[in-house]
Amino acid sequence: MAERRGEILVGEGLVKKYPPRGGAFVRRGEWVPAVDGATLGLRPGELAGLVGPSGAGKSTLVRLLAWLERPDAGVVRLDGAEVWAASRPCDPATRRSVQVVFQDSASSLDPRQAVEAIVSEPLRVHFRLGPEQRRERVRELLGAVGLEGVGQGFLGRRPRQLSGGERQRVAIARALACEPRVLLLDEPVAALDAPVRGQVLNLLRALRDDLGVALLLVSHDLRTVARVADRILVMVDGRIVEEGLPERILHCPGQATTRELVGAMPVFSGDEGNQLAPKSVSSA
């Protein structure tokens, strides 16, 4: 029911099981759920945060929401239409509306391609643009991710010749080149230093405001998510166990795991500062 509260992308009752680690010959009935009945929806123009401890199933959920893997149970809907209803999901135009940015852009970007080719590839595949228009659009997209005014030298660099922050911005620019309506970001700042992390998080907020896309920011770190998210979803053992405004999640966490995540947050300082510093939270 994607129409519910204007959600674009909805996952309902999603389940995904894998063989236990080191148990390749285990019968299917004994596979272990990585995602175990997760339900969530994303609205246009919101930046939702998905937080949970390592192993909670966040990355698996992202792969399900992006149709990179088929769920064992449950449905994914885009604009109300079930994406796995046919044997293969949707046409290319629909397919490009949901894009993912992964933590490790060093491995998700083709190491042999230069920046210009990386960002213009989706333009070539999805849109009928001439070479000159593509070049212009690449510059616009790089501008949108805070890399405005870069020279020809930058456009010719390979991913390994970029800093971590630049690589992540290029990965986001490539995703934006598809003109997505939903952008899923799986631990996009985990590998970045604090100041660069702050810049990329601010960029996500700007994308929400300027482009009106639905963003899902996934992190094991509640501090990262609370800094920018409009709404926080907490995932534990394959399920969404709690959902609410950042203020509520931080100051009045309803679940034991959420309290642990809040308790693990360091005291904010300097440019990583935030209005949402947690009050002391009892572990009761």
Binding site for ligand ADP (CB under 6 A): 18, 21, 34, 52, 54-60
Q: How far is CA 254 from CA 132, 172, 194, 222, 262, in A?
A: 54, 33, 29, 15, 11
Please, what is the minimum distance in Å from the beta carbon of residue 103 to ligand ADP?
10
Nearest to 215 by CA among 49, 62, 80: 49
Residue 147: DSSP 8-state? -
Please, what is the minimum distance in Å from the beta carbon of residue 114 to ligand ADP?
31
Please, what is the minimum distance in Å from the beta carbon of residue 57 to ligand ADP?
4
Cβ distance to ligand ADP smaller for residue 18 or 154:
18
Please, what is the minimum distance in Å from the beta carbon of residue 194 to ligand ADP?
22
Cβ distance to ligand ADP smaller for residue 42 or 170:
42
Please, what is the minimum distance in Å from the beta carbon of residue 61 to ligand ADP?
7
Nearest to 142 by CA among 168, 164, 181: 168
User: Would strands 32-42 and 47-51 be described as parallel, antiparallel, or unpaired?
Assistant: unpaired
Cβ distance to ligand ADP smaller for residue 23 or 273:
23
Please, what is the minimum distance in Å from the beta carbon of residue 35 to ligand ADP?
7
Cβ distance to ligand ADP smaller for residue 68 or 81:
68
The residue number whose beta carbon is nearest to ligand ADP equals: 34
Cβ distance to ligand ADP smaller for residue 69 or 179:
69
CB 184 within 8 A of CB 100: yes
DSSP 51-76: E--TTSSHHHHHHHHTTSS--SEEEE
Cβ distance to ligand ADP smaller for residue 8 or 34:
34
Provide the greatest CA pair distance for the chain: 62
In angstroms, rounded to a whole number, what is the distance separating the alpha carbons of residues 146 and 250? 30
Nearest to 76 by CA among 41, 33, 44, 34: 41
The set of residues, in sequence order, having a beta carbon less than 8 Å from that of 130 and lying 6+ positions away, is none
The two three-digit tokens of residue 18, written as one number: 């894998």
Cβ distance to ligand ADP smaller for residue 60 or 99:
60
The neighbour count for residue 247, using CB atoms within 10 Å, is 12
Please, what is the minimum distance in Å from the beta carbon of residue 250 to ligand ADP?
20
